Structure 1
Amino acid sequence: MALTAAVTHASRALPRRRHRRGPAPSTHLAPPLSTPPPPPRPSTLDRVLSGLEAQPRLLTPSLLAPLLAALPLHPAPRRRLAALRGLLPVSLLRRHPDLALRLLHIHASLGLLAYAHHIFDHLLPARTRRERAFPWNCLVAGYASVGRHDDALALYLQMDEEGAPRDGFTFESALRACSGARSAELGRAVHRDALTAGLAADVSVCDALVEMYAQCGDMEMACQVFDAMPERDAVSWNVLLGGLLGHGGLSAQATEAWRRMLGEGHKPDSVVLSAMLWHHPGDGKQGREVHAWVIRHWLETELSVANALIGMYSRKNELGHALSVFESMPVRELASWNAIISAHSQDFRVLMLFRRMVDSGARPDEATFMAVLSACDNLGLVEGGMRLFSEMENKYRIQPTVQHCTSLVNMLGKAGMVNEAYEFMSKRRRLSNEPTVLRSLLHASSVHGNIRIGEISAEKLFDLEPENVHNFFTLMKMYENTDRLEDLEKVKKMMRDKGL
């Protein structure tokens, strides 16, 4: 799990910004001891490390610099970093703080925060910690990226206590931590610090502020920060629109922001486009407008966008359009297959699509089987549903969820196979106390007049859901339909005694 520290100019919270305004990351580091050669290739790196294991004295500062540059590019960077760490003499890092900083940055960017923090505490001179934001930024960004928001914010506060300088990267990372912690109060404190530091006009900091307020549910403040920005770019618009969509769906405000964004010549990214399509109601026209924009800008084959288009046309019940988008995809992922299968929940071609998926080499997951079993339930495809359930358990070794089992019980119940449904449930003890399964069984028993199974299901439901009157009414209807009036009166009395 590679994590991007703030100093790499690519915030995980704002992944769409490629370049941050300001100096390059290298300006935060001490000047190199000499101009390092290009980083070695992965195979060369492996050979160099093997050679150093035999002769560790050959590890000099001039060799360490290109090795550190090559490590993030290696297919297995953590393993190679561990090997290099075992060869590094502590004295070398203490003599060359710039190399210690690089090592700290690599550890933090790979999510190895314990090692990064050890370097920070024990190998960096006090002056480096006091005068540079870079090492602090590495840790704050690293902790925020792995979800350790409290640790990131504690370091941010420690910077103030120790008088360390704070720059735009610091505030971006701290705001990302506030977003993750859903703490608008702390976010406002960081906001005040950024204003005091003179960064009110910094585009990247403002983007982080908009996202923080949006994540914390304060869209009014998010919009205020956005409107006050002296300069906005496509990323800024994407952040605002993403926040509006996440907070209120396809609201009038989100629609207005979308049109303003396009009117100013900025392009939404695939994340925002997908959100627009997923939030789009099935009876509106704007989904087609978004689709038209997608086609004009050659984005129809973008995986997330195509998947969202399939979902949108599925909600509109326009299977022809959904299938057209699917068939035009040059590459399909599991989510694409799941989307098109879900779109066919009321169409008999669903089993054919599932077989096409398997034949293509895609491996179905829980969501796939949930979609196809639900379709079999809707369409009454009992034999196909039973076969698929068996494949899920025995071929793909997927543990059935309650939802999978409920679909199968529904399917059997609708077909009048109530005894088979009860037998299926009885073989799986955990299902015997699942209200959704029992309600399905009770309903099937009522429809098909299976008094024995209905009474068993109802008795368990009365214990599990004593205040759910629907269960009592279903049993009473079953008694009424079979002229068991004495039992009907007993259920009525039971309800009166319970105060229902």
Structure 2
Amino acid sequence: MALTAAVTHASRALPRRRHRRAPAPSTRLAPPLTAPPPPTRPATLDRVLSDLEAQPRLLTPSLLAPLLAALPLHPSPRRRLAALRGLLPVSLLHRHPDLALRLLHLHASLGLLAYAHHIFDHLLPARTRRERVFPWNCLIAGYAHVGRYDDALALYLQMDEEGAPRDGFTFESALRACTGARSAELGRAVHRGAVSAGLAADVSVCDALVEMYAQCGDMAMARKVFDATPERDAVSWNVMLAGLLGHGGLSPQATEVWRRMLGEGHKPDSVVLSTMLCHHPDEGKQGLEVHAWVIRHGLETELSVASALIGMYSRKNELGHALSVFESMPVRDLASWNAIISAHNQDFRVLMMFRRMVDSGLQPNEATFVAVLSACDNLGLVEGGMRLFSEMENKYRIQPTVQHCTSVVNMLGKAGMVNEAYEFMSKRMCLSSEPTALRALLRASSAHGNIRTGEVAAKKLFALEPDNAHNFVTLIKMYENTGKLEELENVKKEDDEG
């Protein structure tokens, strides 16, 4: 009783938690059996577990329930759950199936699927598995959540074999697994199951069906399910719009759905807004229409939306508008800095913008250096580009990618530093068989008459891309420009024979 009182007392001492919005359907696991008791302080939970280790007989059902409710709120829930699991007598869980169900749900929600499945197989009575959908839902949603889609769908099929009941959450979770596995065939089978169970009109099931068909490329079926959904909510519209945007950008269909959605009073979420801004046609007005809506609803400072706005204006070559959005942001994350650096792809202030980001305390990442090195390549900023590449490797310990290295090769080659470009490539084995970098080296060799390096690059390219005629054309042009007539005839002859 003393331990139970300690948990309860500490729980009542906490201020009331503000209501939090439920997670998106694609990420949530099976809901708990009942509303859990108020949370307990981590220090109190640690003390209770310590006392139980000394006196394990004090672990009673009345104490276990609040402990299980408190564990997810602890900073180290998995470690504390392992400690509690070592104290649990199997007999207690056999006598109290509801506590076993709580324990299963907790393990599944924390991604501990092996333990959750062990409880399901060995600690739940056969009657509970046969008559209750909750343990099945916990496992199916848990497996889908961690990307083990085949395991999730195997359990769904096992439910049918064992005659277990299925509800809307079952079909929703199974459809999420089909979406992850990109299996329209299994998705259609789950769809038929939902129809047979009379749940095909459930809004959450319909949303999952729309997402599944869209992700599997069947937009006609996605639209058919969407149009047949009896009561569409904001989530339904967002799912349909995201599906359309993922297939062909802001198509006329997506524009129509966007306007219908707003006309019915539903609001797009930040993910859909960002996607719309990223996929609009550069020559169209849809991006400006979305921006106007964002301004009216006070969302232009939301990080993902602001970054997408910067990207949109960057693609339209409207750096002033991109800077206006960026400078108005009260808080900036790495994505927004990367977006504004990319927007300076043709502007000499790009290095200054990079230094501003570093001075703000943010660490550049791989994408940052892709953007800034590409700008240095475009602008001919060889000294600055080489200094940044050195910082990337030595200061920030970022492993250069082919994209980083190709920008450097391009940058050096355009500046006539062909030998330096060749030496740079020679030190990086990954570039010796990379066509993009070799083509850059061949172009630079041709432009600056460096025959020796050009021939080395061309020989490797001919082996890697025997059907790419552009490589032969570039080599021929190099020989023509340098007056190497004999070599020119040999290449033409080889080309004719090929």
Normalised-by-shorter TM-score class:
over 0.9
- Structure 1 CA distance for aligned equivalents of residues 50 and 25 of structure 2: 34
Which residue of the partner structure matches residue 6 of structure 2?
A: none
Which residue of the partner structure matches residue 454 of structure 2?
A: 454
Amino acid at match of 1:269: D
TM-score by length of 1: 0.93
Q: Please give the secondary structure, in 1, of the residue aligned with 2:301.
A: coil
* Matching of residue 195 in structure 1 with residue 195 in structure 2: yes
* Matching of residue 143 in structure 1 with residue 143 in structure 2: yes
Q: Please give the secondary structure, in 1, of the residue aligned with 2:281.
A: coil
Residues 206/241 of structure 1: CA separation in 2 closer, same or farther (3 Å cut): same
> Is 2:149–2:177's contact at 8 Å kept on the other side of the alignment?
yes
Amino acid at match of 1:179: T
Trace 1:159-198 onto structure 2 (pairs within 5 A). 159-198=159-198
- Following TM superposition, the consecutive aligned residue runs of length 4 or more in structure 1 with deviations greater than 2 angstroms are 8-12, 36-39
> Is 1:341–1:350's contact at 8 Å kept on the other side of the alignment?
yes
Which residue of the partner structure matches residue 4 of structure 1?
A: none
> Is 1:310–1:325's contact at 8 Å kept on the other side of the alignment?
yes
Which residue of the partner structure matches residue 315 of structure 1?
A: 315
Write out per-residue CA displacement over residues 278-303 of structure 1, whole angstroms, 9 at most, x where no aligned residue. 11122111111111111111111111
Which residue of the partner structure matches residue 238 of structure 1?
A: 238
* Matching of residue 304 in structure 1 with residue 304 in structure 2: yes
Quote the offset at 1:376 in angstroms. 0.2
Trace 1:61-460 onto structure 2 (pairs within 5 A). 61-460=61-460
Quote the offset at 1:338 in angstroms. 0.7
- Select between 260-269 and 75-84 the one with higher mean Cα deviation: 75-84
Q: Please give the secondary structure, in 2, of the residue aligned with 1:340.
A: helix
- Select between 187-196 and 349-358 the one with higher mean Cα deviation: 187-196
> Is 2:140–2:155's contact at 8 Å kept on the other side of the alignment?
yes
Q: Which has the higher contact order (CA 8 A, sep 6+)?
A: 1
Q: Please give the secondary structure, in 2, of the residue aligned with 1:180.
A: helix
Write out per-residue CA displacement over residues 329-378 of structure 1, whole angstroms, 9 at most, x where no aligned residue. 11111111111101110001100010011111111111100100000000
Q: Please give the secondary structure, in 2, of the residue aligned with 1:326.
A: helix
Residues 228/102 of structure 1: CA separation in 2 closer, same or farther (3 Å cut): same
Residues 383/180 of structure 1: CA separation in 2 closer, same or farther (3 Å cut): same
Residues 148/10 of structure 1: CA separation in 2 closer, same or farther (3 Å cut): same
Amino acid at match of 2:314: S
- Structure 1 CA distance for aligned equivalents of residues 169 and 331 of structure 2: 37
Q: Please give the secondary structure, in 2, of the residue aligned with 1:75.
A: coil
Q: Please give the secondary structure, in 2, of the residue aligned with 1:445.
A: helix
Quote the offset at 1:208 in angstroms. 1.0
Write out per-residue CA displacement over residues 214-267 of structure 1, whole angstroms, 9 at most, x where no aligned residue. 111111111111111111111111111111111221000000000000001111
> Is 1:14–1:208's contact at 8 Å kept on the other side of the alignment?
no
Quote the offset at 1:462 in angstroms. 1.7
Write out per-residue CA displacement over residues 383-414 of structure 1, whole angstroms, 9 at most, x where no aligned residue. 00000000001001111111111100110111
Residues 151/12 of structure 1: CA separation in 2 closer, same or farther (3 Å cut): same
Quote the offset at 1:429 in angstroms. 2.5
Q: CA RMSD in A?
A: 1.7
Write out per-residue CA displacement over residues 402-439 of structure 1, whole angstroms, 9 at most, x where no aligned residue. 11111001101111111111111112223222221111
Quote the offset at 1:69 in angstroms. 0.3
Write out per-residue CA displacement over residues 54-100 of structure 1, whole angstroms, 9 at most, x where no aligned residue. 22222111111111001111122111111111111111111111111
Ranges in structure 1 where 5+ consecutive residues have no aligned partner: 1-7
* Matching of residue 13 in structure 1 with residue 45 in structure 2: no
> Is 2:27–2:145's contact at 8 Å kept on the other side of the alignment?
no
Quote the offset at 1:326 in angstroms. 0.9
- Select between 275-284 and 421-430 the one with higher mean Cα deviation: 421-430
> Is 1:12–1:145's contact at 8 Å kept on the other side of the alignment?
no
Residues 274/263 of structure 1: CA separation in 2 closer, same or farther (3 Å cut): same
Which residue of the partner structure matches residue 13 of structure 2?
A: none
Q: Please give the secondary structure, in 2, of the residue aligned with 1:166.
A: coil
Which residue of the partner structure matches residue 473 of structure 2?
A: 473
Which residue of the partner structure matches residue 3 of structure 1?
A: none
- Structure 2 CA distance for aligned equivalents of residues 345 and 180 of structure 1: 36
Quote the offset at 1:213 in angstroms. 1.1
Ranges in structure 2 where 5+ consecutive residues have no aligned partner: 1-20
Quote the offset at 1:37 in angstroms. 5.4
- Structure 1 CA distance for aligned equivalents of residues 215 and 309 of structure 2: 25
> Is 1:443–1:474's contact at 8 Å kept on the other side of the alignment?
yes
Write out per-residue CA displacement over residues 119-145 of structure 1, whole angstroms, 9 at most, x where no aligned residue. 000000111101100000000101111
- Select between 460-469 and 216-225 the one with higher mean Cα deviation: 460-469
Quote the offset at 1:11 in angstroms. 5.1
Q: Please give the secondary structure, in 2, of the residue aligned with 1:250.
A: coil
Quote the offset at 1:491 in angstroms. 0.5
> Is 1:9–1:25's contact at 8 Å kept on the other side of the alignment?
no
> Is 2:39–2:73's contact at 8 Å kept on the other side of the alignment?
no
Which residue of the partner structure matches residue 488 of structure 2?
A: 488
Residue identity over aligned pairs, in percent, reads 84
- Structure 1 CA distance for aligned equivalents of residues 116 and 295 of structure 2: 46
- Structure 1 CA distance for aligned equivalents of residues 283 and 45 of structure 2: 58
Write out per-residue CA displacement over residues 105-162 of structure 1, whole angstroms, 9 at most, x where no aligned residue. 0111111110100000000011110110000000010111111111111111111111
- Select between 362-371 and 76-85 the one with higher mean Cα deviation: 76-85
Aligned length: 478
Which residue of the partner structure matches residue 38 of structure 1?
A: 38
> Is 2:37–2:69's contact at 8 Å kept on the other side of the alignment?
no
Quote the offset at 1:25 in angstroms. 4.5
Amino acid at match of 1:427: K
Quote the offset at 1:48 in angstroms. 1.4
- Structure 1 CA distance for aligned equivalents of residues 261 and 132 of structure 2: 38
Which residue of the partner structure matches residue 10 of structure 2?
A: none
